[in-house]
Chains A and B, each alone.
Chain A
Amino acid sequence: MNVMRPMPAGQVGRSVPRLEARQKVTGRADYVHNVVVPGMLYTKVFRSTVAHGRILSIDTSAAEALEGVYRVVTGEDIKTIVPEPYYGPAFHDQPVLALEKVRHVGEPVAVVLAEDPYIAAEAVQLITAEYEELEPVFDEVEAVTSKAVVHEVLRPAGTFPDLKHLVGRRDTNVALDYQLRRGDVDAAFAAADHVFEHEFRTQQTMHTPLEPMVSLAIPGHESLTIHTASQSPSFVRIEIARLLGWPENRVRVLVPHLGGGFGAKLYIKLEALVACLALLVRRPVKLSLTMEEQFYTITKHASTFRIKSSIKNGKITGRRCEVFWNGGAYADIGPRVTQKSGFTAPGPYDIENVSIDSVALYTNRPPAGALRGFGIPQLVWAYESHTDLIARDLGIDPVEFRRNNILREGREQATGTAMKDAAIEAVLDDIAQKMDWSKPFDRGTGTVKRGRGIAIGFKASISPTTSVAIVNVYGDGSCSVYLSTVDMGQGSDTAMAQIVAETLGIETENVKVIHPDTDVTPYDMATLGSRSTFHMGHAVKLAAQHARDQLTELAASLGLPAGTNYGPKELFKKKYGMQAGNIVGVGSYIPEYTSPAPETGLSANVTPFWMVGGTGVEIEVDTETGHVKILRMINAADLGRALNPKVVETQLSGAALMQLGFTLFENMEYDNGQVTNASFADYKIPGIHDIPARIENDIVEAEQTNGPYGAKGVGESATFGVSPAIANAIHDAVGVRLTEMPLTPESVFRAIRAKKG
């Protein structure tokens, strides 16, 4: 197998089934979950029961006395391995195990290591801790002025170029405040025909990948091997090496398949803990979280968005956006969420005067990070609800109003970056056309009312970030591509193989994708933010071209005429006298980027490409109960050229349905900082009965001219419009406006009642 033979072009654009399909349907795909090594210890984490407190004492004696317990470890023990055991991608704020303070319920305080996972679980129940409780803060708006301070001192990490500007501060809960000032909003408000102001809120939710987070560290001679369910093996290696003060080459990070990620498994999660434990006890250590424990580990930001717009002659002339992000107890990547999403907070509209304040806040909730959209779904929820309200109030058709104000090709977006290859209007038109928007709509009868709504959104990519790939052509002409991009279900392995195949003129199925192993595969910033297709796609294409060019040179060096029919296998044989040798192509890619000016937040180049997505829904509201039923959902996106249309379609569908859960019912509920529904019994995610009766997913005809084979990312795009489209449709059906997610039947019912008076 894997022998290179010439193929007609057309590997890109083919709906190739996922390369690993067979392993997945037979249950034989590799997950970290499956890995067991000799001498391995199992662990269970003892977690804080208070939201904010000073640790007075931890009593581990009873746990240590339990037969089968190998050792119990606390934060003080970790310091013997790493004197400054704080990690994080934006701030070095998160201790491997709590030190001095705990900052959220569920924070890891101690760990039991045992020969048997059941023993570890039992021993954890025997640990007790005493805390001096401190005043907590839970709400993102209150955190701005709260006397309760989650971190006394902030230490910026300085790792990523786009977060270089973070500064260390004292006695504040503000981790980052991004400001953008364009034109003069106050003047626009003063001169307007109408001014509209609203506040929208979103709730905290969780990714709940079905493969709960899991990491295994194996100590070696002056080295460490980590098997981990991670979306960012390169970052894990760098961060573990930094903590240990080691060179990168002594830390090896391997990632097989991931059972879902959605942003939960980014940067560094359990890896620092298992690394320290393995070095402490000189044995392999595995930590597998339960579904419940995931809720204490990483979440999606709750948010409050105050938005104010001025309208003159039907045009939006000014917009002020104040967004508060509830980052929880540790910043994780919240500052990037805050800034990147801040760029596009006014929405895909052409607005002369804009003021944006996007503020990342620490609170005493479990940390919040990236979740499929990096903050964009929270923003679109607000600005597209707001847009709809304005259109309704002005008596203008909501689609028409959007068209009148839409951001068109070549126009500068709020940051000052010109729009390029962003088919915003095409996405809007596609949805409107599919919905027959201009035709009369059946509004239902009796107690069941029908309505429809549309919403569109866009997103800047994560920049400037680097991807490196290697394409290795072997002696028989077969080849592999080496990359640290993680296939967590989005199909990146298949897409990357298609790019190699297209470039080398071979069959996709014959390209082997080598999974992340930092000893073998080169650097990739991370698998996040829909960046892989574009960034890694470029690197892979360059690597394949590099290999192809070397094959051409090899042929020339062997005295063969240009355009020879000799394949790689024959070339190698001719050169080495037998089946031997390699051609190694290397590709590396980093897009250009201009940091926003600190005073204005403006930049001529904040992103190498724009993601655009929108959703239209037709719904039914049971006015007697408030139940909302989605009869039809249309998702459309501009993703440039689809490398693999079938995989793209499932990405659109999956993203929209995930956002449907966040919109209608997913919600982390709290009692004094304690999550009260941290399990699937009480935190409900969409099941097969929750999906719309009809769902259509459209790939809008477009091309990303600077993308690999005209492509760009798509994993998040269909999340953008779902929530406001549904809220807009509810308004259309029953005349009430919900401004807080989730849109539960009770909230719809109450709004209907309130309207009736």
Chain B
Amino acid sequence: MRGFELVHPASLDEAIKLLDVDDPTVRPFSGGTALMLMMKTGVFQPSILVHLGGLEAEHAAVAVTPEGGLRIGALATLTSVEHSAEVVRVAPVIPRAMKRLANVRVRNVARIGGNLAHGDPHMDLPPVLSSLGGAVTVRGPGGTRSIPIEGLFSGYYETVLTRGELITDVTLPSQRGWASAYLKCTTRSADDWPTLGVAVSLKVTDGAIAESRVMVSAATEKLTRLPSAEAVLKGANAGEDAVARAADAAAAEAETIDDARGSAEYKTELLRVYVKRALGEAIRNGAVQ
């Protein structure tokens, strides 16, 4: 990992400019927890690392939007998100998920933008944030655009971000009336990467499920939304029967993959169970006021 240059842009535009090159050895560096692993094992040999830490002052704020949602600066550390009073109020599922996300030291330095941009399908936040209807604001040489998080990932460790593009913000709509839950399943030690992550959000009106988002991660090649499970839930009573049918639909729909944490077949069965449990937990958690 020798011989690279660590540069410190003074502005986001300068960072984008530095990154707008046709060279995969030039990469942005924020918390660095994932990139350092790749560098230490020789998987990634950088020539230039564009350090974004100096931009923290402008791009790490957590704020409630006028609509009652959240805007989180991409350079906010996971710890600052976990402990933000605004996040606790608007989207309590996020701090609940954080307790068992990586570990304290990683959360202290990893940034929410980098966590999403890394494209690792085993991360906990992509399913959680996408189930909340979250989006990222992305700035690049061609300007600014917004991408729903459920559409951010194009494959295994791949995202739709293009050359020079950086995530600047994560935005969440108001969660009023939505009930959410995230469950993950590990099959080796408790602190292992998840074998499966399931995040669900439900909007329940008069006991019936008006709308839902069901997301699966880790067991699939990339973060995946499960519309057939959502279709089962739509209009159904928020009870055991609908939950069980949605779980079956999820299991039938998701394309799980084999790895050291379990066979695809087993993960499909886990998915069935965890969708059921996550929906149950979301209903028990109740809607955010």
Contacts and interface: CB of A to CB of B under 8 A. Distances in A.
Interface of A: 118-119, 121-122, 125, 292, 624-625, 627, 661, 664-665, 669, 676-677, 681-682, 684-687, 689-690, 744-746, 749-750
28 contacts: A118-B2, A119-B2, A122-B1, A125-B42, A624-B273, A625-B185, A625-B270, A625-B273, A661-B189, A665-B187, A665-B188, A665-B189, A665-B192, A669-B260, A684-B188, A684-B189, A684-B191, A685-B189, A687-B190, A687-B191, A689-B189, A690-B189, A744-B188, A744-B262, A745-B187, A746-B263, A746-B266, A749-B269
Contacts of A685: 189
A676 B260 contact: yes
A681 B37 contact: yes
Contacts of A746: 187, 262-263, 266
A682 B273 CA distance: 25
Nearest to B196: A625
Closest 7 CB pairs of A and B: A689-B190, A684-B189, A665-B188, A684-B188, A687-B191, A746-B266, A624-B273
B193 interface: yes
B1 A118 contact: yes
Nearest to A744: B187
B100 to A, nearest CB: 8
Contact of A681 (B190, B193, B262): B193
Contacts of A750: 266
A119 B3 CA distance: 10
Interface in B174-232: 185, 187-193
B208 to A, nearest CB: 27
A547 B57 CA distance: 70
A698 to B, nearest CB: 26
Given A118-B2, A122-B2, A746-B266, A682 B189 contact: no
A744 to B, nearest CB: 6
Contacts of B266: 746, 749-750
B250 to A, nearest CB: 14
B interface, size bucket: 20 to 34
A661 B191 CA distance: 13
Contacts of A681: 37, 193
A125 B45 CA distance: 12
Nearest to B187: A745
Interface in B32-53: 37, 41-42
Main secondary structure on A side of the interface with B? loop
Contacts of A624: 273
A499 B145 CA distance: 74
Most-contacted residue by chain B among A681, A682, A684 (CB, 10 A): A684
Given A625-B270, A682-B260, A749-B269, A690 B190 contact: yes
Interface in B160-181: none
Nearest to B1: A118
Nearest to A66: B2
Most-contacted residue by chain A among B37, B191, B263 (CB, 10 A): B191
Given A118-B1, A122-B2, A749-B269, A686 B260 contact: no
A664 B2 CA distance: 39
A119 B190 CA distance: 37
A625 to B, nearest CB: 6
B272 to A, nearest CB: 8
Nearest to B192: A684
Interface string B248-289: 000000000000101100100110010000000000000000
B242 to A, nearest CB: 18
A348 B41 CA distance: 47
Given A118-B2, A122-B2, A686 B187 contact: no
Given A119-B2, A749-B266, A749-B269, A687 B260 contact: no
Contacts of B41: 292
Nearest to A685: B189
Nearest to A119: B2
A633 to B, nearest CB: 16
A644 B119 CA distance: 52
Given A625-B270, A681-B37, A746-B262, 15 more contacts: A118-B2, A119-B2, A122-B2, A292-B41, A625-B269, A627-B187, A661-B189, A684-B191, A686-B189, A687-B190, A687-B191, A689-B190, A690-B191, A744-B188, A749-B269
A690 B266 CA distance: 22
A689 B189 CA distance: 8
A627 B192 CA distance: 14
Interface in B12-41: 37, 41
A121 B42 CA distance: 9
Nearest to B103: A687
Contacts of A125: 42
B97 to A, nearest CB: 16
B260 A677 contact: yes
Nearest to A745: B187
Most-contacted residue by chain B among A292, A669, A682 (CB, 10 A): A682
A118 B269 CA distance: 46
A637 to B, nearest CB: 26
Contacts of A627: 187
A323 B284 CA distance: 53
B124 to A, nearest CB: 15
A125 B188 CA distance: 32
A690 B188 CA distance: 10
Contacts of B42: 121, 125
A744 B261 CA distance: 9
Contacts of A625: 185, 269-270, 273
A689 B193 CA distance: 14
A750 B193 CA distance: 22
A643 B272 CA distance: 53
A121 B185 CA distance: 36
Nearest to B42: A125
Nearest to B186: A684
Contacts of A676: 260
A301 to B, nearest CB: 21
A750 B262 CA distance: 11
A746 B273 CA distance: 14
Nearest to A687: B191
Contacts of B269: 625, 749
A695 to B, nearest CB: 16
B274 to A, nearest CB: 8
Nearest to A124: B42
A687 B102 CA distance: 13
A676 B262 CA distance: 15
Most-contacted residue by chain A among B1, B189, B262, B263 (CB, 10 A): B189
A624 B191 CA distance: 21
Nearest to A742: B188
A452 to B, nearest CB: 22
Contacts of B270: 625
Nearest to A125: B42
B191 A689 contact: yes
Nearest to B276: A624
A118 B45 CA distance: 13
Contacts of A686: 189
A661 B190 CA distance: 11
Contacts of B1: 118, 121-122
Contacts of A677: 260
Contacts of B191: 684, 687, 689-690
Contacts of B193: 681
